[in-house]
Chains A and B, each alone.
Chain A
Amino acid sequence: QQQVKQSPQSLIVQKGGISIINCAYENTAFDYFPWYQQFPGKGPALLIAIRPDVSEKKEGRFTISFNKSAKQFSLHIMDSQPGDSATYFCAASMEGYQKVTFGIGTKLQVIP
């Protein structure tokens, strides 16, 4: 059962454009939604995270938008750069429950 659905699986964006990755979840008990960035041959690194009590969180060029009623959240990368080319995973977890559920991942390629 895929509890966190992520799309698209691959994305090509021109330099300077906006990259948008979407995720949807099913379990309303989730209360922590992180995004991870993974480069080839490396472990995932936490990029940005949000809790459901806010609708948006911005850190630099990265913004998470959260829609609690729709059970959806998305990552926006503004002014995308070739160095942003990586695989991005959305995830969800809940306080007091140790497991993190990952989306399938989105391979982003930013072309010059």
Chain B
Amino acid sequence: GAVVSQHPSWVICKSGTSVKIECRSLDFQATTMFWYRQFPKQSLMLMATSNEGSKATYEQGVEKDKFLINHASLTLSTLTVTSAHPEDSSFYICSARAITGGIGYTFGSGTRLTVV
């Protein structure tokens, strides 16, 4: 079945530094990838939608200059949290939709970001 690999699974960084999270579709090509943020005991909040070769579409209230998304190929999307602060600490999850269409989504295993 479709597999999405997300790396790293956890990361601790100092305030003011940047962190990059990778999301790879291993056995399928994904024209569209999604980035979510999940706070403890809460639902997934969509941050942005990235389409291969074009700019990401950010949800209302999400700072595009802080959360940089790049989808340079059909199998890789990256989320960079720039100048991270403790309030950015959260669980970040990506998901991907196959190029073959349909509306099934496969999720990555998530990245736990802790900013100290």
Same complex origin of A and B: yes
Within 8 A of A (CB), among B42-101: 42-44, 46, 49, 91, 93, 95, 97
**Is the CB–CB distance between A32 and B109 below 8 Å?**
no
Per the bound structure, the CA–CA distance linking A94 and B102 in Å amounts to: 10
Closest to A44 in B: B107
Number of interface residues of A (CB under 8 A): 22
Please tell me if the beta carbons of A99 and B109 are within 8 angstroms of each other in the complex: no
Contact A41 B112 (CB under 8 A): yes
8 A-B pairs with the lowest CB-CB distances in the bound complex, closest first: A43-B107, A43-B110, A43-B109, A43-B93, A44-B107, A102-B43, A104-B43, A43-B108
Question: Residue of B at shortest CB range from A43?
Answer: B107
Q: Main SS of chain A's interface residues?
A: strand
Q: Which residues of B contact A44 (CB under 8 A)?
A: 44, 93, 107
The answer to whether B42 and A100 touch across the interface, beta carbons within 8 angstroms, is: no
Shortest Cβ distance from residue A34 to the other chain B in the assembled complex, whole angstroms: 8
| Interface residues in B, total, Cβ within 8 A | 23
User: What would 20 more interface pairs be, CB under 8 Å, given A46-B106, A98-B49?
Assistant: A32-B103, A34-B105, A41-B110, A43-B109, A43-B110, A44-B44, A45-B107, A46-B107, A93-B103, A95-B103, A98-B34, A98-B97, A99-B49, A100-B34, A100-B95, A102-B43, A102-B44, A105-B41, A105-B42, A105-B43
Tell me whether A42 and B110 are in contact (CB under 8 A).
Answer: yes
Residues of A within 8 A of B44 (CB): 44, 89, 102
Residues of B within 8 A of A89 (CB): 43-44
Query: What are 23 A-B pairs with beta-carbon distances under 8 A?
Result: A32-B103, A43-B4, A43-B93, A43-B95, A43-B107, A43-B108, A44-B44, A44-B93, A44-B107, A45-B107, A46-B104, A46-B105, A46-B106, A93-B103, A98-B32, A98-B34, A98-B49, A98-B97, A100-B46, A104-B43, A105-B41, A105-B42, A107-B41
